[in-house]
Amino acid sequence: MGAAQGRAGPGASQRKGPTSQALKDEKDLALGEGEGKDSGLKQSQLKVRFCTNESQKSRGELVRLLRRLGFDISEGEVTAPAPAACQILKERGLRPHLLIHDGLRSEFDQIDVSNPNCVVLADAGEGLSYQNMNKAFQVLMELEKPVLVSLGKGRYYKETSGLMLDVGAYMRALEYACGIKAEVVGKPSPEFFKSALQAMGLEAHQAIMIGDDIVVDVGGAQRCGMRALQVRTGKFRSVPAAGSESDS
């Protein structure tokens, strides 16, 4: 996510006067070619904010990866779902059963996980086995008021080896089995975009989201009142997948 004042942002026409902002999806950056891909953003004095649904790595690990790829980025410029979820858990006194990737567990070190009264679901990779999914289902079914917190609800993402099933499919399975609606922390949740805007001191109409997902990046940003641009990198497909018009 970035913002430009009196300068042209990525995909935006040059203008003077009112501030124009842009948002950036981290997955698109990670899949870009070459080094220093964000140099134009920095040189144009954009207020950069990288919005990601990454839930297999901590923010620190993600930033280190992007720096190795040549991006000038700090943890303070990244809006990610795990820290936001931890804040929600603390505010509401929730003690989660964690179905998450081992690479993300450090984000929850300060969270009480004894006697769970909710489930936090993320892209746990191979950890999303039948046994682990069934355990999460059992925890939810034993609760009088089950709470399922999902770190994003993407359908799939792209790795160098190909397309990978994302957390949204597993979220839907638990919703269906338990007869509940998950609370999504991350894109395309309006609250997630608003938290990033607030960190930058911007209003939605001042911002442009740039990403490769027509539903999670573009659709989510537009529902929040922002403009959005889809890039033809990352998991972009020239023929949209069935159901891509809606992710409700």
| Position 1 pLDDT exceeds 50 | no
65 and 48: one domain?
yes
- 163 lies in the same domain as 201: no
For residues 149 and 151, what is the distance between their CA atoms, to the nearest angstrom? 7
Residue 141 sits at the vertex; the CA angle it makes with 171 and 117, to the nearest 5 degrees, is: 85
pLDDT digits (tens, 9 = 90+) for 170-225: 999 999 999 999 999 999 999 999 999 998 899 999 989 998 888 889 999 999 99
| Backbone φ, ψ for residue 172 (5° rounding) | -60, -40
> pLDDT digit string (tens) for 116-160?
999 999 999 999 999 999 999 999 999 999 999 999 998 888 888
Does the pLDDT of residue 24 top 90, yes or no? no
SS3 219: helix
Last residue within a domain, chosen from 184, 200, 215: 184
Instruction: Supply the pLDDT for residue 62.
Output: 93
Look at residue 234 in the predicted model and tell me its pLDDT: 62
88 and 177 belong to one structural domain? yes
SS3 117: coil
Report which DSSP code applies to 132.
H
Whether residue 202 contacts residue 21, with contact meaning beta carbons closer than 8 Å, is answered with yes
Instruction: Report the 10 Å Cβ neighbour count for 6.
Output: 13
Give a yes or no: residue 223 inside a domain.
Answer: yes
pTM equals 0.77
What average pLDDT does this structure show over 90-106?
Answer: 97
Which backbone phi and psi does 161 adopt, to 5 degrees?
A: -85, -10
